[in-house]
Structure formats: C-alpha cells, structure tokens
Amino acid sequence: MTFISLQFLVFFMVVTLWFFRLKNQKGRIWLLLIASCYFYMSFIPEYILILGGTIIVDYFAGIQIEKSEGSNRKFWLVLSIIANIGTLAVFKYYNFFIDNIHTGFLFFGKPLQLPLLKMALPIGLSFHTFQALSYTIEVYRRKQPAERNFVVYALYVMFYPQLVAGPIERPQNVIPQLKEFRPYNWDNVKEGLARMCWGFFKKVVIADRLAMVVERTFGHTAETSSAALFIGAVFYSFQIYCDFSGYSDIALGAAKVMNIRLMENFKQPYLSGNLSEFWTRWHISLSTWFRDYLYIPLGGNRKGEWRRRMNIMVVFLLSGLWHGANWTFIIWGLLHGLFVLILVWKINSGGSAVRKLLGILFNFIVVTFLWIFFRAENLHAAWVYIKSICSFRGGSNYITLNPVEFIFSILIIFIMLFREKYLPRHTISSNSRFWVYLFSMVIICYFFGVFKENQFIYFQF
C-alpha cells in the first residue's frame, strides 16, 4: 500500500475517523497498531514475522538494559544491536557479500558457488531497524526509560506513517506522544491534510513526471546526447527530492492529522551552499542518527583533525551502505565524505548575493553528479553516464517529454522551490481557504499527475 494508492486513501480515512471516535488512549494505540500491521502486511504479509521478531527482542532488551548494571547492560545492548544489524545483514547484505566473494574467487581463477538468499528485501527494513536501534541505545544511555507497555513500544517501531521510509524517529519524541490522549484539533487536521496534499503534488505531479525523463536517459545512455543526459541528471536530483520529501510530507501530514508531530526530514537541501550544509538539510533524521550514534561515539571532532576526517569517511561509507547493497551506493557515500572534506568553503552571511548564488549552484551541480552513482545500475554505468555528459557529444535529444511538457516540468520545479522557500508552512487559518486549497490540489494532482505503479524510491531501502 503506497501513499499514492486509493487503498491508502480509504485506509487513512477509516483509521483517522475511527481514531477520533475512540475516547481513551489505550483503544487508540491498539487501533493504530492493528492498522500499522495491516499497512505493513499489504506489501508482503509474511515479513511481519521478521519485524515482529526484532520488536520482541528489542522490547525485552530495553527492559533488561534498564534493570541491569555494568557488563550486563552492555550485553543486552549488544544483543539488541546484533539482532537488528544481523537481520539487516542477512536480508540486505548477504547476497551482496556472497556475490563479491564469488567475484573475488573468479578473479583468482577458482570459481566458487555459495548459496544465495532467494528472498525480497523486507520493505523499509533499514528504516525500522535504525529506529529500533535508537530506542535501545537511548535506554542504554539512560536518556529514555524502557517502555513497559508492549503495544506502545511496538507502535513506536510500526507507526504506519513513518514505518517504511521514515523519518527515523527518536523514542523521546514519539513515545510520550503515543501515550498521551490528545483531543481532536481541527487546526491540526487542516495542517496535516494540507501537508499531505503538498506531498501528493510533489510525488505525482513532479517526481513521477521527471521519472519518465530519468528512466529514458539512464536506460539509453549510449545513444543520448550530452545535453539530454545532463537534463536527465538534473531531473533526477529533483525527482529524488520530490519523491522522498513528498513521502515525508505525507507521513508528517498524516501523523499531524492525528495530533502526532514527527521530526522534519528536509529543509530545502538544494539551497545549501556546501555539502556539509546539504547534509544538515537532506534526510535529517538519518544524518542526525549517524551523528548521534556513530560520529560522536567515534570521537567526532574531539580527537584531532585526522581522526575527525576518518570519522567523517566512516560515517559516509556506512551511510552509503545503509542505502543499498551495491557498490554504487558505497562509492556515492565515500564521494560525499571526500567532498565534505575537500569542498570546505562557507558562504558568509555577509557575502554578496552573486557569490551565494554561485555557491548554491556549484553545490547543486556536485550533488547532481553524485546522484548519478546513486541512480545508476552499476559503477560502469555511472562512469559512462558522467563521461558522456562531459564529452559534450551529440546524439538523440529524445527525453520522452514534448516541449510543452518539458517547459511545464521546469515551471513546476520552480513553483515547488519558490513555495518551499517563501511559504514553507502548511497552516491555513481560514476554513474557506483551506477547502479551496484542498479542492484545487486534488484537481491539480488528478489532471496533471502521472499515475503509474511507481513505488517511492526510498521504499527499497
């Protein structure tokens, strides 16, 4: 059940209305948990067993960590980490690891055949694994009491708006909200629905339209001209942004309707002046996770310059690996780390507007070129794509859009950037304006949306 399906819209209507009909919090969390199970099972039903297994382990590990002292505390934390990372390793990285062993042995002329796992990756595994880890780590750090109510804990991991693609929440933010009875609030409902509409717009009107160009250029690199390939790369930058931030808008909006506030995941990342700033604005819940649970424990910037550099590289390497079991993601992560270290200039607040603009533009181009590794099927394809752009060669300019739709696409990108920069809020105080906005967005999404069975890009992680 993706957010852009009819099934989700009907499901959301039923769950939300039912939620507000219940007069006690116990009933509400049971409803949300059952709804979240249904939501997750609508992808591949049997994978609920994997998710359920890790939830049970982490629930008991959390209680034991809180009860224990000294090495016992560490034992339960390690157990939780092994259960979560182990699940991730088996389902996400096992085949990648075995493939590389095969390649290695083949290189030395000794072919080897180890068994491969024939299972699809459980949807959103990396997200809920990291969310579960943040719980046990916070309990270990004594910043969060262990949750005794299993239903509340299970809902913390499974809360359907953020279950399959984040934001990767922290227990301190979500668990208290799940336990507190919050009455119906029309202003929150309006804000949540308005935000959901904006998310739908970004996904179906922008991201899925740009996807047609991206699929074409990445699928036909050899015969496509440099200019068209460059357009394809730029469009991919906006596609992935509108796809992922659109998902986050729908998730945050859906939670807001039910009076639950989730953390922001994006802050106009393409307006960043350098890569370090980009990572404070892009997928914030993941970058802060790595900061809090990896970079700082590794020493952060407290142990000298070389250690800081190494820590940054480790964080970006693992961030790349988190996205997928493919060398393209690893190289993408490493290059980001490298460029964060190399491209260190900052745009001073007192700098000229032209200088700021040039910084933003340069940073955007760097990010765009790095996205090519993220999108390409393999490293060779990424390299060919980049080389083909830089060769300024001719070739087919066919990008699937006619001139009208091409101009329309650029126009809606600028509208999106303008709106998020200058009208970032989704609060609409007047009821009549709210209904006009809602109706207009539905009409625009229907008539100008590109509807195909496109999953959100980040679902695969």
Partner 1 sequence: MIKRFLSCFFIVFGVALLYSSTSRKLMSFFKVAKDNNNWWGEFQLTKGDLLELSHLDFVSKLNTQPQNNLKEFTHSLIRPKYNLYLLGDSYIWGLNKSNFDALTDFHSIDFYGINSFHLDTANKNALIIEISERFIRETMDHNQVIACFYDSLKGKDSENGSNNTRSAPSKDHTILDYFSSITLFNKYINQNLEFNLFTYNFMLPLFETKAAINYYLFGRASGDAIISDDGNFLFLKETAVDYGPKSSFSKITGKEISNIIHHLNAMNNYYKSSGFSKVYLSVIPNPITIMQPEGYNNLIPLIQNDPHLSMSVIDIYSIFKNNQDIYYLPGDTHWNNKGKQLWIDLVNKTLRN
Give the type of residue at 26. K
Under the criterion CB under 8 A, does residue 405 sit at the interface with partner 1? yes
Of residues 164 through 203, those in contact with partner 1 by CB under 8 A are none
Of 18-26, 76-84, 153-161, 381-389, which segment contacts partner 1 by CB under 8 A? 18-26
Q: How far is the CB of 192 from partner 1 (least distance, A)?
A: 16
Under the criterion CB under 8 A, does residue 438 sit at the interface with partner 1? no
Q: At residue 396, what are phi and psi to the nearest 5 degrees?
A: -70, 130
Q: Rounded distance, CA 74 to CA 155, Å?
A: 25
Under the criterion CB under 8 A, does residue 344 sit at the interface with partner 1? no
Under the criterion CB under 8 A, does residue 219 sit at the interface with partner 1? yes
Q: Active site residue: 102, 220, 283, 323, which one?
A: 323
336 given a catalytic annotation: no
Per-residue exposure over 65-82, b if at least 16 CB sit within 10 Å of its own CB, e if not: bbeeeeeebeebbebbbe
Under the criterion CB under 8 A, does residue 42 sit at the interface with partner 1? yes
Under the criterion CB under 8 A, does residue 264 sit at the interface with partner 1? no
Distance of CA 114 to the CA centre of its chain: 32
* Cβ-based nearer residue to partner 1, 10 or 390: 10
Under the criterion CB under 8 A, does residue 14 sit at the interface with partner 1? yes
Under the criterion CB under 8 A, does residue 94 sit at the interface with partner 1? no
Q: Rounded distance, CA 235 to CA 110, Å?
A: 43
Q: Rounded distance, CA 191 to CA 254, Å?
A: 10
Nearest C-alpha neighbor of 88 from the set 295, 322, 327: 322
Q: Rounded distance, CA 285 to CA 272, Å?
A: 17
Under the criterion CB under 8 A, does residue 41 sit at the interface with partner 1? yes
Q: How far is the CB of 439 from partner 1 (least distance, A)?
A: 14
- How far from each other are the two terminal CA atoms of the chain, in whole angstroms? 16
Of residues 440 through 459, those in contact with partner 1 by CB under 8 A are 446-448, 451
Under the criterion CB under 8 A, does residue 45 sit at the interface with partner 1? yes
Under the criterion CB under 8 A, does residue 414 sit at the interface with partner 1? no
Long-range contacts of 358-363 (CB under 8 A, 24+ apart): 359/273, 359/274, 360/270, 360/271, 360/272, 360/273, 363/272, 363/273, 363/274, 363/275, 363/277, 363/278
* Cβ-based nearer residue to partner 1, 32 or 48: 48
* Cβ-based nearer residue to partner 1, 45 or 104: 45
Beta strand residue intervals within 47-118, DSSP E: none
One of 17, 342, 353, 354 touching partner 1 (CB under 8 A):
17
Under the criterion CB under 8 A, does residue 5 sit at the interface with partner 1? yes
At which residue do the structure tokens 């992922």 appear?
Answer: 244
Q: Rounded distance, CA 237 to CA 278, Å?
A: 13
At which residue do the structure tokens 């490493």 appear?
Answer: 334
* DSSP letter (8 states) at residue 417: H
Of residues 198 through 217, those in contact with partner 1 by CB under 8 A are 215
Q: How far is the CB of 14 from partner 1 (least distance, A)?
A: 4
Give the type of residue at 404. V
β-bridge partners, 46: none
Catalytic residues: 323
Q: Which residues bind partner 1 (CB under 8 A)?
A: 5-7, 10-11, 13-14, 17-18, 20-21, 38, 41-42, 45-46, 48, 215, 219-220, 401-402, 404-405, 408, 446-448, 451
